[in-house]
Amino acid sequence: MLEDGYSINYICVKYGISHKRLLKLWILYQKEGVTVLHRQDYTRSNATFRHKVVLDIENNGVSLVQASIKYGVSAGCLSMWLKTAREQGVDALLITKKRGRSPGMGRPKKLQKPETELERLRRENQELKTENALLKKVKALVEEREARLRAIGRGQSEN
């Protein structure tokens, strides 16, 4: 449509596409053709690459769209890298975070050894306290909802 003479603003409004996104795709299309518009494989960036990109943006005044096209990284990623570099320093980009869930998450493992009467009662007591707190919270939420409905003139729901 851009080749046919339609404006970027018209296309953005008609199809609900972000202006920056369409502009980036148009520049990529002009540079490398249709093949660049196909889905690309995900590559995880290393710390030195992030460091190089952020320094290029900061020192040379490259825009996010230009850097995104130049390095093949989304503008959202670049803005997060820039925010991290500005708040915590450029060296914070060298720290890589572990992906996935932390080891402590998940269901607690069942006890292997038989527990004493006291341990069993303490565990049961804790479970009952948790259940009681949950029921209180649900009751408070239901009462709040009913009060809100009464305030706007509706009655209680059938549920």
What is the domain partition of the chain in residue ranges? 1-37, 44-96, 115-159
Which residue stretches of the chain have pLDDT < 70?
32-44, 95-99, 104-105, 108, 110-112, 154-159
Q: What is the pLDDT of residue 136?
A: 96
- What CA–CA distance (Å, rounded) separates 36 from 93? 28
Q: Which residue, 64, 107, 55, is CA-closest to 86? A: 55
